[in-house]
Amino acid sequence: PQTIFLSDYTPFGWLIDSVHLTFDLAAHATRVISRIAFRPNPDAPAQQFFLHGKDLTLINARIDGQDIQPDISDEGLSCPVPEGSFIWEAEVEIDPTNNTALEGLYVSNGMYCTQCEAEGFRKITYYPDRPDVMAVFTVEIKGPHPVLLSNGNPQTVGTGHAIWHDPWPKPSYLFALVAGDLVAHSDWFMTASGNKVDLNLWVRPGDEGKCAFGMSALKRAMQWDEQVYGREYDLDVFNIVAVDDFNMGAMENKGLNIFNSSAVLASPETSTDANFERIESIIAHEYFHNWTGNRITCRDWFQLCLKEGLTVFRDAQFTADIRSAPVKRISDVIDLRTRQFPEDDGPLSHPVRPESFQEINNFYTATVYEKGAEVIGMLKRLVGDSAYAEALELYFARYDGQAITIEDWLAVFEDITERDLTQFKRWYSQAGTPRLSVKETYGSGSYTLTFTQHTPPGSYSPDPQPQVIPIDVGLLNANGDEVLETQTLEMTEATQSFTFEGLASRPIPSILRDFSAPVILERDSNNDERAFLLAHDTDPFNRWEAGRALARETLCAMATKGSAPDTRYLDGIRSVLRDKALDPAYRALMLELPTQSELALFMSDRGLTPDPAAIYDAVQSLKQAMAEQLRENLPTILDANIVRQEYKPDAVQSGKRALYGAALALMSRLDDGSLAAMQYAQADNMTLQLGALSCLLEVDKGALELGAFYDQWQDDRLVIDKWFALQITRATPDRAVAVTRALTKHPDFNWKNPNRFRATLGALTGNHAGFHAADGSGYELLADWLIRLDPVNPQTTARMCTAFQTWRRYDASRQALIGAQLDRIAATPDLSGDVTEMITRIKA
Ligand code: HT7
Ligand code: ZN
């Protein structure tokens, strides 16, 4: 495969005035006719005319009405063209039914749909398939389907024929088409300027009852974007379509968002509170792309974080605003530590803006998305809220309709604040998670914090330089009173001191409040101080963090030294749990233990070799100890958090159910699951039903309920995904591989469906001790299936290779076992470019 470099960027030699596409849909032989008006790009160097194209059968091509015979390769075509403007016309044939890669035009359950980001449009017709070529599209669709959709506004719409026109210039990756037997859940939204927008959520017949929440979330997002960012919707219609076979969560195509059905369909009976919250945030995310991604897009794919980092940041702000800000922040940090820190710490580490790639699909990563959002959060913290708002206004005004770069993005902040962001830009170009260590001194009322930053060198950044780190700090006195309110310290040097005067006694610092930077804080603290902050910190994030750090410390000591659970953790957690002034959702998060993979990273960061079985045993013992410790309190907590009102997936109710569920899991260890069994029988919503089943399986009960669950839900594909995943997630380490293997033989294991594949093999990789079984059976089973899936769907296969990215952290025997599977995958004949790149990088 070819490596592409950011430094090689050259603009395309032509601009496009208009694109007219006609689709004649047929299962195996869809015809696509294109008519494109090209004109020379005055800002581009002279070049050969080249159009991308993949897996296309060219029927004919014409320039200004004259037949031509272009040179065709696997990647596209080239031909001589006139010096000035010209009209390109081509007819190609494609086979959507045999398109199992789910990229380009494909068929899912009889429905035609497209996925063009990043480079899927070239599988539809010959075109300059790059984000900096923006054009106005008109699309005509012919096909025997009741619903025919494309981007923009409808011009003619009926069964068998439709014409759509999108007035906003867009790159090809935002093109979309849908055709099928679909039904709409419809509503409308009045924009602040008084334009009425028709809203439709298109689903398969039978799914109508799962649309109401998605629609209401869309309206909340539209309103929020007007109120907070002043962004209005810009077409007469906004369509969302739910599709069962989809590689990711959703796609922001202009005016026609396409969603994985798991990311939009919901009902109280079939969806958990977590599902509802995820749906709300994905709908918001895709909607927010209308401005951050669509109206202003990326010049090239190296700039992916320009749209993704900013849009993740915006969707997080939205969730924080309409739910709980501390709970959202804590959840995001858990996610960052679970997915992004391991990526940045291993062979797949790359900067937020990578400088080279082979397959762009492999760079839709936690680093680009989540660390990309953290970088924007730091920028906002450094410049302040009002400068951020002004910079964003300028951003939208200056770049509307353009395809731009990170330099352009930073320029608006420099112009508004007159700050030099040269050093800040290192967050975009340096890979790796900075380690921030702290030393402190106190004397004569003067307290000094000295920070040192160090980013471990990696292949992408062999010599990392100091970054600008906003460090939010508060100080407490021994009574737990705040003697210094949160201040943002701006660290720019490798080592830097900050002094606070006039303190009556040595303070207890609360450092990196609100997780003000994506770094690993290395502080020589102790469990007494952590327990103090768990009891007193006024910053909700750091209070939670103190509990998490205590849990990590005690679990690490239990796993490596066989220590007993630290009573300071158990006592501290009990106090928090009993504090009725605290939001139940927050208390539920406090009860959650660090993930086993987080503990593995924590240990390897300390130079220890993590033993997955010992970590698992430590977690089980600590849960048991927590249950014993809270024995007296659990009934009260359970009783106080039963929701008696009609089900609503809002923050208040879901917070109570989260705390109830966490308490029930502990209670099940004391009563052998009898309360959980009762709750399972009475549950009238999926949160309670699945929660109860999970508690039962965790204490090795629930076989009957598991069977009953399948019988009840066998016709609901999204619920059956949960049934697959839960059994594997809850399996003990010695059984996880066998359970997974058995489920891959289940008649419902449709491995070509990415959701089902992820619910099964993805769940295995999430069962830390099961996947890392000492005999290597987890590695072998995953490799078997990756090898099988690759020719069918390289994109999903490549994403799942990341399960091996942490391999160097484990013992020699596990490394050898994983290494052998990586070699086996690499040696597979005709391995896709996607997977080849991933395996090569992981092995490097
Ligand atoms: N911008 C989209 C990213 C994406 C994608 C979505 C679905 C299938 C394949 C895809 N490749 C890239 C989704 C988003 O971040 O909003
Ligand atoms: Zn996105």
pLDDT greater than 90 at residue 247: yes
Domain contains 234: no
Domain identity same for 736 and 755: yes
Mark which of 504, 524, 544 sits at the end of a domain. Answer: 524
pLDDT greater than 90 at residue 238: yes
pLDDT given at position 297: 99
pLDDT given at position 568: 97
Q: What's the distance, Cα to Cα, between the start and end of the chain in Å? A: 16
Domain identity same for 86 and 171: yes
What number is the average pLDDT over the span 771-788? 99
* 292 Cα: distance to centroid of ligand 2 (angstroms): 9
228 neighbors 739 (Cβ within 8 angstroms):
no
Q: Report helix, strand or coil for 403.
A: strand
Domain identity same for 460 and 396: no
Determine whether 844 is exposed, middle or buried from the number of CB atoms within 10 Å of its CB (0-12, 13-18, 19+).
exposed
Concatenated DSSP letters of 82-114: -SS-EEEEEEEEE-GGG-TT--EEEEETTEEEE
pLDDT given at position 527: 96
* 312 Cα: distance to centroid of ligand 2 (angstroms): 7
* 755 Cα: distance to centroid of ligand 1 (angstroms): 15
**Residues with C-beta less than 6 Å from any ligand 1 atom:** 115, 117-118, 247-248, 250-252, 285-286, 289, 308, 364
Domain identity same for 729 and 839: yes
Q: State which ligand 1 atom lies nearest to the alpha carbon of 246.
A: 8
What number is the average pLDDT over the span 266-283? 98
The pTM for the full model equals 0.98
Q: State which ligand 1 atom lies nearest to the alpha carbon of 282.
A: 16
Domain identity same for 393 and 491: no
- In this structure, the residue with its CA closest to atom 15 of ligand 1 is 308
Q: What is the signed CA dihedral for 758, 654, 713, 209, rounded to 10 degrees?
A: -100
CA gap 99, 795 in Å, rounded: 13
Domain identity same for 161 and 306: no
- In this structure, the residue with its CA closest to atom 14 of ligand 1 is 251
Long-range contacts of 312-316 (CB under 8 A, 24+ apart): 312/285, 312/369, 312/370, 312/372, 312/373, 313/372, 313/373, 313/376, 313/377, 314/225, 314/229, 314/284, 314/285, 314/288, 315/281, 315/282, 315/284, 315/285, 315/288, 316/281, 316/373
Q: With cut-offs at 50, 70 and 90, classify the pLDDT of residue 524.
A: confident
**Nearest ligand, measured from the Cα of 117:** 1
**Nearest ligand, measured from the Cα of 253:** 1
* 112 Cα: distance to centroid of ligand 1 (angstroms): 18
Domain identity same for 126 and 160: yes
Domain contains 345: yes
Q: With cut-offs at 50, 70 and 90, classify the pLDDT of residue 314.
A: very high
Domain identity same for 148 and 164: yes
Domain contains 354: yes
pLDDT given at position 359: 96
Q: State which ligand 1 atom lies nearest to the alpha carbon of 289.
A: 16
Q: With cut-offs at 50, 70 and 90, classify the pLDDT of residue 729.
A: very high
Q: How far from 466 is each of 345, 395, 492, 670, CA to CA, in Å?
A: 18, 28, 7, 51
Domain contains 349: yes
Q: With cut-offs at 50, 70 and 90, classify the pLDDT of residue 717.
A: very high
Domain identity same for 153 and 10: yes
- In this structure, the residue with its CA closest to atom 2 of ligand 1 is 251
Domain contains 212: no
**Nearest ligand, measured from the Cα of 251:** 1
pLDDT given at position 94: 98
Token pair, residue 584, equals 């139940």
Domain contains 470: yes
pLDDT greater than 90 at residue 461: no
- In this structure, the residue with its CA closest to atom 7 of ligand 1 is 248
Pocket test for ligand 1, best of 248, 288, 294 (most atoms within 8 A of CB): 248
* 247 Cα: distance to centroid of ligand 1 (angstroms): 8
Contacts of 703 (CB under 8 A, 6+ apart): none
Nearest CA to 44 out of 17, 6, 15, 12 is that of: 12
pLDDT greater than 90 at residue 459: no
pLDDT given at position 1: 79
Q: Which residues surround ligand 2, an ion (CB under 5 A)?
A: 308, 311
**Nearest ligand, measured from the Cα of 257:** 1
Q: To which H or E segment does residue 690 belong?
A: helix 686-698
Domain identity same for 407 and 448: no
What number is the average pLDDT over the span 540-559? 98
Nearest CA to 785 out of 747, 733, 743 is that of: 743
Determine whether 386 is exposed, middle or buried from the number of CB atoms within 10 Å of its CB (0-12, 13-18, 19+).
exposed
Angle between helical axes of 733-744 and 612-629 (0-180°, round to 10): 110
Pick the catalytic residue from 286, 359, 370, 698.
286
Structural domain boundaries enclosing 373: 297-429
Mark which of 524, 550, 584 sits at the end of a domain. Answer: 524
Domain count, the chain: 4
* 288 Cα: distance to centroid of ligand 2 (angstroms): 9
Q: Which tens digits make up the pLDDT trace of 158-196?
A: 889 999 999 999 999 999 999 999 999 999 999 999 999
Domain identity same for 423 and 470: no
Q: Which tens digits make up the pLDDT trace of 417-458?
A: 999 999 999 999 999 999 999 999 999 999 999 999 999 998
Domain contains 233: no
pLDDT greater than 90 at residue 157: no
* 780 Cα: distance to centroid of ligand 2 (angstroms): 33
Domain identity same for 440 and 424: no
Pocket test for ligand 1, best of 123, 251, 359 (most atoms within 8 A of CB): 251
Mark which of 180, 213, 247 sits at the end of a domain. Answer: 180
pLDDT given at position 643: 98
The CATH number of the domain where 384 resides is what? 1.10.390.10
Burial readout 367-377 (b: 16 or more C-beta within 10 A, e: otherwise):
bbbbbbbbbbb
Nearest CA to 793 out of 752, 839, 748 is that of: 752
Q: Which tens digits make up the pLDDT trace of 468-486?
A: 999 999 999 999 999 999 9
The CATH number of the domain where 30 resides is what? 2.60.40.1730
Pocket test for ligand 1, best of 294, 312, 364 (most atoms within 8 A of CB): 364
* 319 Cα: distance to centroid of ligand 2 (angstroms): 15
Burial readout 275-310 (b: 16 or more C-beta within 10 A, e: otherwise):
bbbbbbbbbbbbbbbbbbbbbbbbbbbbbbbbbbbb
pLDDT given at position 500: 98
**Nearest ligand, measured from the Cα of 249:** 1
- In this structure, the residue with its CA closest to atom 13 of ligand 1 is 251
pLDDT given at position 460: 86
286 is annotated as an active-site residue: yes
Q: State which ligand 1 atom lies nearest to the alpha carbon of 260.
A: 7
Contacts of 110 (CB under 8 A, 6+ apart): 180, 181
Domain contains 627: no
pLDDT given at position 216: 98
Determine whether 213 is exposed, middle or buried from the number of CB atoms within 10 Å of its CB (0-12, 13-18, 19+).
buried
